């Protein structure tokens, strides 16, 4: 579900005449917070009652919010003299609908079941009904196009001007200019695409759940903890979520080979995603064409600082070529380690060797970290992460007592507690130290569960500052377990997600209900990556994982991070090139083999054995939910782009964190993200400029301020 469209959609009710700049007026006395007694999904004045959010209740609450929202749209069609005030307050009330979709998505991702999958499909259709009611409204769109030609509109100050620009672009991207018959087909295809993406994710989840690997005869795995093993008919089977870890640490090469080959079947065979991929590509291509783009990659690039799919692909290829020599050195290093440990100078790496010998390399470098789990608890590390961010931003993290209630139990949480959807979930409130004002709250769900979406991710549950409650709220979920915080990589992942969350919470502008939305999509991961890079600093690691690191330990860790960063960024670039190339070509013939297409696209960059077997690790199409089930199609390269932006900014960010809060986070993207970045760093953030700064001329001086004059709003 692409919620970002709905966030912009709710800006529909804009004024037709100028008003003075300034803060929002107080809400009228008639303003009322919706009651949570009948519609608990729409609660905005207190933490949610998750046990009441059963699928039937979710449907009823979203239907109620939709009726109210569409009623407001109809009212806006007849407003004779709209003002910024009377339309903006209407929007804020209607933002409840956006949060309702977010909250339903939280439960869909944390409670995978046939019932919740059905709910997801039905809500996708309702979501597209809302988009149709707004973006294809025959009355509002002409008013908006006329409005932006008025002199008073052109004089709107930066935040409002930028909002209106984005808002108009969002209408066009959703087919507002299409003739009526094409609008109807556009929505039909949007529903089809949503269903295909859901099916892709469901297929992959089912493939992972159904995957089996018999380890009964592998005595080396006899002592695996029970939670990693399924017992059936006297046989022992490895669970999927631990398989990649076993592949990386198991010294038995025959076991590694068998396990690796078994893992390659996921997303294929009985849960084959090939046909879904072709259908997704075809629908995306058609949607791009009717909007006037050559392909889906061009459509996505139109809102980025790299303006076409071809330019983005060139950026990725240039980056791959620059990184390729270092990547080859890393792979040869792994081969040398295998030759040394096997006492066979002629030993060749195999695909199942790469994760294992990477682990051997990390074990050598991290031997000084081996005793951390004996000296610290994961709770202590989490608290120290919060302490570090508190010091940087002048905020505090306070944990509240939580209680789990069974779904449908009709019980109430005791006074002073916060209800959660699982006993292991924790809840933290964030406040400003100076003003004691609440900035937001975080649910942390860090335990592994079989019906929970894998990986680590964040999703908002309250996204906008209601006039009577200016607090954001988000969920951070991880299937890695809180024990992952005992290791530098786990700390880095947690800081990444907290970077996303703090970006939402710190917004402090008139338009901060959209503060978490970036105006240039290739900045989407910037703040998260910037915070993740804190884990590379010696002083930060020392404060999180005392006792203090020795110089030798830190130098070893730095060497390991250099190796890991090269491997990770090379993988991201490979997957980015696959993403862009497949979406620039639009359609895949049924006769085309997906694996062969992948290798053809990456042929200049793959690391091959003498026998021609590929050793380069990347996520194949059949398992890539980022591209085919998520929101990163045509945009996956932004992870690499964000790494470059963050690398440039990391020292100034750490030294001037309060200034970063004030000049970037608190602006809430009331200006283009590129402009805010330039104002903080004093450099031009275009890809060419950033790469020149990083790789060619690090001492290059840039002007202190690169603020730009807003471009005219396109009618």
Share of the chain above pLDDT 70, in %: 84
Alpha helix positions (H), 434-516: 488-506
Integer Cα distance of 323 and 607 in angstroms: 13
Can you give the three-state secondary structure of 503-558, one letter per residue?
Answer: HHHHCCCCCHHHCCCCCCHHHCCHHHHHHHHHHHCHHHHHHHCCCCCCHHHHHHHH
- pLDDT per position as a tens digit, 593-649: 898 999 999 999 999 988 888 999 999 999 999 999 988 999 999 999 999 999 999
Q: Compute CA distances 134 → 76, 161, 275, whole Å.
A: 11, 21, 32
Q: Which letter, b or e, does each residue of 555-586 get, where b requires 16 or more Cβ atoms within 10 Å of its Cβ?
A: ebbeebbebbbbbebbbbbbbbbbbbbbbbbb
| Rounded-to-10 torsion of CA 145, 286, 292, 185 | -30
- pLDDT per position as a tens digit, 274-308: 999 999 999 999 999 999 999 999 999 998 889 89
At residue 375, the pLDDT reads: 60
**Mean pLDDT for the stretch of residues 345-373:** 83
What is the assigned CATH class of domain 372-551? alpha beta
Alpha helix positions (H), 602-685: 625-628, 638-655, 657-663, 673-681
Q: Which letter does DSSP use for residue 269 in this model?
A: G
| Rounded-to-10 torsion of CA 481, 484, 486, 490 | -140
At residue 672, the pLDDT reads: 83
If one compares 191 and 467, the residue with the highest pLDDT of the two is: 191
Look up residue 655 and give its two tokens. 């030294």
At residue 4, the pLDDT reads: 38
Helix (H) or strand (E) holding 562: helix 551-585
Look up residue 483 and give its two tokens. 């024990």
- pLDDT per position as a tens digit, 312-358: 999 999 999 999 999 999 999 999 999 999 999 999 999 999 999 99
Q: Are strands 472-478 and 456-462 parallel, antiparallel or unpaired?
A: antiparallel
Q: Check whether 464 has a pLDDT greater than 70.
A: no
Integer Cα distance of 261 and 622 in angstroms: 15
Q: Check whether 148 has a pLDDT greater than 70.
A: yes
CATH 3.40.390.10 domain locations along the chain = 372-551
Contact 443, 420 (CB under 8 A): yes
What value does the mean pLDDT of the chain take? 83
- pLDDT per position as a tens digit, 508-521: 765 544 433 434 47
Can you give the three-state secondary structure of 334-400, one letter per residue?
Answer: HHHHHHHHHCCCCCCCCCCCHHHHHHHHHHHHCHHHCCHHHHCCHHHHHHHHHHHHHHHHCEEEEEE
Can you give the three-state secondary structure of 624-648, one letter per residue?
Answer: CHHHHCCCCCCCCCHHHHHHHHHHH
Least Cα distance to 160 among 511, 683, 463 occurs for 511
Least Cα distance to 531 among 626, 389, 685, 432 occurs for 389
343: left (phi over 0), alpha (psi -120 to 50) or beta: left
Q: Which residues contact 173 (CB under 8 A, 6 or more apart)?
A: 291, 299, 302, 303
Integer Cα distance of 456 and 501 in angstroms: 13
Quote the Cα angle for 11-181-76, to 5°.
25
Contact 4, 520 (CB under 8 A): no
Contact 283, 393 (CB under 8 A): no
Q: Residue 145: pLDDT band by 50, 70, 90 thresholds?
A: confident
Look up residue 566 and give its two tokens. 């090269």
Q: Check whether 466 has a pLDDT greater than 60.
A: no
Q: Residue 506: pLDDT band by 50, 70, 90 thresholds?
A: confident
Look up residue 451 and give its two tokens. 């019906």
DSSP letters, 283-350, are HHHHHHHHTT-SSHHHHHHTTSSS-SHHHHHHHHHHHHHHHHHHHHHHHHHHHHHHHHHHT-TT----
Share of the chain above pLDDT 90, in %: 53
- pLDDT per position as a tens digit, 477-486: 888 777 777 7
If one compares 12 and 575, the residue with the highest pLDDT of the two is: 575
Look up residue 228 and give its two tokens. 């990693």
Integer Cα distance of 48 and 461 in angstroms: 9
274 half-sphere exposure, CB direction, 13 A CA radius: 16
Integer Cα distance of 413 and 402 in angstroms: 9
Look up residue 556 and give its two tokens. 């070893």
Q: Which letter does DSSP use for residue 67 in this model?
A: H
Q: Check whether 59 has a pLDDT greater than 70.
A: yes
């Amino acid at each position: 579900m692409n919620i970002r469209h709905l966030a912009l959609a709710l800006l529909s009710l804009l004024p037709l005449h100028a008003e003075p700049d300034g803060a929002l007026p107080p809400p009228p006395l008639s303003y009322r917070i919706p009651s949570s007694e009948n519609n608990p999904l729409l609660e905005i004045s207190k933490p949610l009652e998750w046990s009441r959010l059963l699928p039937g209740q979710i449907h009823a609450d979203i239907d109620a919010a939709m009726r109210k929202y569409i009623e407001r749209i109809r009212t806006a069609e007849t407003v004779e003299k709209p003002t910024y005030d009377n339309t903006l307050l209407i929007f804020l009330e209607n933002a409840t609908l956006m949060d309702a979709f977010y909250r339903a998505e939280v439960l869909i991702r944390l409670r995978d079941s046939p019932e919740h999958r059905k709910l997801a499909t039905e809500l996708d259709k309702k979501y597209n009904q809302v988009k149709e009611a707004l973006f294809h409204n025959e009355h509002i769109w002409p008013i908006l196009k006329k409005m932006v030609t008025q002199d008073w509109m052109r004089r709107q100050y930066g935040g409002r001007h930028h909002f209106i620009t984005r808002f108009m672009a969002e209408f066009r991207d959703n087919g507002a200019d299409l003739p009526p018959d094409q609008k109807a087909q556009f929505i039909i295809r949007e529903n089809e695409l949503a269903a295909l993406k859901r099916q892709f994710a469901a297929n992959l989840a089912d493939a992972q759940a159904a995957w089996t690997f018999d380890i009964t005869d592998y005595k080396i795995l006899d002592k695996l903890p029970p939670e990693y093993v399924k017992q059936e008919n006297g046989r022992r089977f490895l669970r999927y979520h631990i398989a990649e870890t076993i592949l990386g640490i198991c010294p038995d090469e025959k076991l590694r080979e068998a396990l690796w080959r078994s893992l390659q079947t996921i997303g294929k065979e009985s849960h084959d995603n090939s046909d879904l991929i072709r259908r997704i590509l075809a629908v995306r291509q058609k949607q791009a064409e009717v909007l006037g783009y050559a392909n889906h990659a061009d459509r996505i690039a139109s809102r980025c600082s790299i303006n076409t799919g071809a330019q983005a692909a060139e950026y990725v290829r240039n980056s791959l070529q620059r990184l390729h020599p270092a990547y080859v050195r890393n792979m040869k290093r792994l081969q040398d380690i295998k030759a040394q440990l096997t006492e066979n100078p002629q030993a060749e790496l195999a695909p199942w060797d790469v994760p294992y010998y990477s682990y051997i390399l990390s074990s050598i470098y991290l031997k000084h970290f081996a005793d951390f789990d004996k000296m610290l608890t994961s709770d202590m590390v989490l608290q120290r992460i919060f302490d570090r961010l508190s010091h940087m931003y002048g905020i505090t993290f306070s944990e509240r007592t939580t209680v789990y209630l069974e779904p449908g139990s009709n019980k109430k949480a005791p006074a002073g507690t916060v209800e959660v959807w699982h006993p292991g979930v924790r809840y933290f409130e964030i406040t400003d130290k100076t003003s004691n004002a609440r900035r937001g709250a975080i649910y942390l769900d860090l335990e592994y569960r079989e019906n929970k979406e894998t990986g680590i991710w964040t999703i908002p549950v309250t996204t906008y500052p209601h006039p009577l409650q200016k607090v954001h709220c988000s969920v951070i979920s991880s299937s890695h377990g809180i024990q992952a915080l005992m290791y530098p990589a786990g700390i880095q992942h947690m800081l990444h997600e907290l970077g996303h969350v703090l970006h939402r919470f710190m917004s402090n502008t008139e338009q901060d209900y959209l503060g978490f939305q970036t105006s240039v999509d290739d900045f989407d991961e910037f703040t998260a990556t910037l915070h993740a890079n804190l884990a590379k600093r010696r002083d930060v690691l020392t404060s999180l994982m005392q006792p203090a690191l020795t110089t030798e330990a830190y130098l070893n860790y730095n060497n390991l991070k250099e190796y890991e960063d090269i491997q990770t960024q090379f993988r991201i670039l490979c997957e980015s090139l696959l993403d862009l190339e497949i979406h620039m070509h639009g359609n895949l013939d049924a006769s085309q083999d997906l694996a062969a297409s992948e290798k053809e696209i990456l042929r200049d960059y793959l690391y091959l054995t003498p026998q021609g077997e590929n050793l380069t690790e990347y996520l194949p199409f059949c398992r890539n939910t980022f591209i085919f089930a998520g929101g990163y199609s045509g945009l996956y390269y932004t992870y690499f782009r964000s790494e470059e932006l963050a690398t440039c900014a990391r020292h100034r960010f750490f030294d001037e964190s309060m200034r970063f809060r004030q000049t970037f986070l608190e602006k809430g993207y009331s200006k283009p993200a590129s402009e805010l970045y330039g104002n903080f760093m004093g450099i031009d953030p275009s890809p060419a400029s950033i790469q020149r700064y990083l790789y060619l001329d690090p001492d290059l001086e840039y002007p202190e301020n690169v603020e730009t004059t807003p471009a005219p709003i396109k009618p």
